[in-house]
Structure 1
Amino acid sequence: MKMPHQPRTNTTATAGTLVPKTEIREGLLIFTLAAIQFTHMMDFVIMMPLGPQLMRIFNISPSEFGLLVSAYTFSAAVAGFLSALFIDRFDRKHAMLGLYFGFTIGTLACALAPTFSLLLAARVVAGAFGGVLGALILAVIGDAIPEERRGAATGKVMAAFSVASIAGVPVGLYLASVTSWHAPFYLLAGLSFLVLLASFKLLPPMRGHLTNAVKQNPFLVLKEILQKRNLQWAMALMITLTMAGFLVVPFISPYMVANVGFTETELSYIYLFGGIATVFTSQWAGRLADKHGKQRVFIISAVLSMVPILLLTNLPPVPHYIALIVTTIFFILFGARFVPAMALITSSVEPKLRGSFMSINSSVQQLSAGVAAFLSGLIVQETASGKLLNFNWDGILACVITLLAVWVVRYLKAVG
């Protein structure tokens, strides 16, 4: 009678070793991931409002500023592709801590950079670690959070973008205005170090994806991912969603200063009000996606988002409160379409491939963002008086690509 029972006990013990379910407290895990996501997003977001100051101090053109933004994303794309070859072989905690340490060092290098060229190089380093970090956060959500709560969990972690906009960007811009553009990066490097220490203590071991894993040639894993039709649609959604956003986002701040009449200090209000709104709306979007269907919520949000895109990219000199209404609605709908899209993409892949796929998907996202930012910099032109031209063409192109994303999402299926 004891013989049939013994293997079952061993299996349970082995699984318990690989999947320490009792150690994973969902709320604490989401909070820790959100803290990591906050610093990661703050590092990326702060470049946009610093645009006018960096263009002035380094005497660079819109296309060179576009390169400064896209250097981070191109580096993240390459790193994400390379990490896909081995990221699923490690405990998620160990991978997270290693990447976050590299990200912290890269951010400190940005703070220390004295010239445009060295800042460009430092952004490459920060992007190499930061881009993979974002993918790993989503992989952890996919591994640890059940499908029925995954949209809400994604919304909470993605709300870190909103918190970065509310707290990080205004503080960063203030420090940059009273000291120099280096100050926000010093602040962020220090904060990242504190979060790194806390994450070492708070993150549980996460080896659940290794429970039934079979060692394979990483290139065969990569081939398997790229050949799956559902994952092809997931990557197509990421490409269209990202390009539609980053044709517009990098030049919001320069356009507001050059064409609408904002000062560099007043740019913080754009991110403050947009961030406050999206703290709530991103989580609502996640809950609505869980309740009414992720595809439906994405399609509605994406179609509605075209209205503020066109308004923003054609905005003439107007009272500040009108401009802030437009930018706030833009950020609300930008986040509302991103949350269900990321929940769909995370659910489109089975757990054994999730880490590798999310790294590849992150590469696709970062490459798309880099191409869009660079293309936007080529489209936008600066006149002798400092005004920016052709931003409206960025908006039209973003709307066309948004409609393409709406078409793509209809073919995406949840499998994990």
Structure 2
Amino acid sequence: MKKQSTLEKFTSYQRSILIVLALLQFTVILDFMIISPIGYILTKSLGITTKEFGLVVSSYIFSAATSGIISAGFIDKFDRKKTLLFFSTGFIIGTIFCACAYSYNTLLIARIITGGFGGVIGSIIMTIISDIFTPNQRGRAMSTVQMAFAASQILGIPLGLFIANRLGWQYTFYLIVILSILVQIAVFFKLKPLKGHLNKESNAQPFLHLWHILKVRRHQIGFSATILLGMGMMLQPFISIFLINNIHLSNDDVPIIFLVTGTSAFFIMPLVGKLSDRFDKFKIFLIGSFLTIIIVPIYTQLPIVPLWVVLIMNVFIFAAIMSRMGPFQAINSMIPKQENRGAYMSVSTSLQQMAGGLGVVLASTVVFQSTTKSPLQNFDILGYLVIGISAFAVVLVYKVSELTKKQ
């Protein structure tokens, strides 16, 4: 594998901002991901069926996607810092509503509100990283932010599950609210205003600006690749249900699995980031995709096995899937010009979330349970769908990579 560049060191300001943005991403990801591991508790506590649970998960995603599309028209018209603070405030309010939910309908509404604000935060974070970090730094920077997934696995989800099992699932959301407020204070004091994109020409009208983003051919190819990668995440919401009802693990085993998996990611993601900045980013993405295609069918057809086997398999599947995201985000960030970057990343994130929502809805029509304690059926078929989507995504990401080299 041929080297494409040497590593550029981060400045002290870059490092501090990267930590703050990673912490913010951590709270948003934890809010979204915690639904899966506490899914078993939620379905019993609120009397939610498997199909309704799928809608609760997807409602957040669809709301985030819709909000991202709407905000794309004007998100490049404001200081990035002020935009980030606005959406993070709405996210905190929505999470409070989640903690106060007392039925399927109220939880559904609360998730829609939370998704409407929280879903846009990810695209703003990626835009800020693209503004502050050079292309040869973005692999490491974006992989560092992606480590928020690992942090949520190691710290957030086990702690959230512990609280949910001991005090009630509502207190898990209260924990997220407290963390989010602390991080928002750090954003307010640490992040400098980002207005460089305001000095460049762009369409004055929000609708025209959005239309300009959508009609550009290279943008369309990037969006297509993003959609496929989003749909490829359809396994995650049903993993805890599969492990408990099919593999016969206990509720107390699930936090251990997330803890071990997340710990491994702290070693894997920095390595992926460094490789992405030192070598061709698409080749690193290709390796991750190849590993995903191998491990997914094995994981989704696991028989009843000991906990240690599940731990190993979970580490492998998480590493394979997440090893694709850092390199792709770095490639994708190089598609738009700076004055269009906020809108492009917002639309891209929205499409990824919408595709994820469609994937969950599709998955909820494939998998099913006779009762809340019955084994999860057709999880292996879901694995084959993920394989097909992953293979097709490789083709589109290759095209995106080639476009960035021609710019």
Shorter-normalised TM range: over 0.9
Is 1:250 the equivalent of 2:237? yes
Distance between the aligned counterparts of 1:74 and 1:154, measured in 2? Answer: 24
Contact 1:76 1:366 in 2 (8 A): yes
Distance between the aligned counterparts of 2:341 and 2:85, measured in 1? Answer: 18
Aligned Cα root-mean-square deviation (Å): 1.4
Contact 1:41 1:161 in 2 (8 A): yes
Partner of 1:17: none
Partner of 1:238: 226
CA deviation profile, 1:308-349 (whole Å, cap 9, x unmatched): 211121111111110111111111111111110111111111
Gaps of 5+ in 2: 1-10
Partner of 1:414: 404
Is 1:103 the equivalent of 2:99? no
Partner of 1:268: 255
Is 1:373 the equivalent of 2:363? no
Is 1:79 the equivalent of 2:77? no
Q: Which amino acid in 2 is paired with 1:382?
A: Q
Q: Which amino acid in 1 is paired with 2:380?
A: N
Contact 2:87 2:117 in 1 (8 A): yes
User: Aligned-pair distance for 1:255?
Assistant: 0.5
TM-score of the superposed pair, with normalisation by structure 2? 0.94
Distance between the aligned counterparts of 1:61 and 1:110, measured in 2? Answer: 18
Q: How does 1:327-406 map to 2 (within 5 A)?
A: 327-384=314-371, 386-406=374-394
Contact 2:46 2:102 in 1 (8 A): no
Contact 1:379 1:390 in 2 (8 A): yes
Stretch deviating more after TM superposition (88-97 or 212-221): 212-221
Distance between the aligned counterparts of 1:300 and 1:215, measured in 2? Answer: 39
Is 1:134 the equivalent of 2:116? no
Q: Which amino acid in 1 is paired with 2:304?
A: P
Aligned counterpart for 2:167 among listed residues 179, 183, 188: 179
SS in 2 for 1:381: coil
Contact 1:159 1:279 in 2 (8 A): yes
Contact 1:62 1:378 in 2 (8 A): no
Contact 2:202 2:209 in 1 (8 A): no
Q: Which amino acid in 1 is paired with 2:96?
A: L
Contact 1:163 1:275 in 2 (8 A): yes
Partner of 2:50: 62
Distance between the aligned counterparts of 1:288 and 1:351, measured in 2? Answer: 25
SS in 2 for 1:389: coil
User: Aligned-pair distance for 1:215?
Assistant: 4.8
Partner of 2:210: 222
Distance between the aligned counterparts of 1:26 and 1:113, measured in 2? Answer: 39
Contact 1:308 1:327 in 2 (8 A): no
Aligned counterpart for 2:101 among listed residues 104, 113, 124: 113
SS in 2 for 1:388: coil
Partner of 2:183: 195
Identity %: 35
Gaps of 5+ in 1: 1-22
User: Aligned-pair distance for 1:24?
Assistant: 8.8
CA deviation profile, 1:78-109 (whole Å, cap 9, x unmatched): 10000001000000000000110100111111
SS in 2 for 1:411: helix
Stretch deviating more after TM superposition (406-415 or 254-263): 406-415
Partner of 1:160: 148
Q: Which amino acid in 1 is paired with 2:366?
A: I
Contact 1:53 1:264 in 2 (8 A): no
Distance between the aligned counterparts of 2:202 and 2:311, measured in 1? Answer: 53
Moved over 4 A (4+): none
Q: Which amino acid in 1 is paired with 2:300?
A: T
User: Aligned-pair distance for 1:199?
Assistant: 1.3
Distance between the aligned counterparts of 1:265 and 1:350, measured in 2? Answer: 48
Contact 1:310 1:396 in 2 (8 A): yes
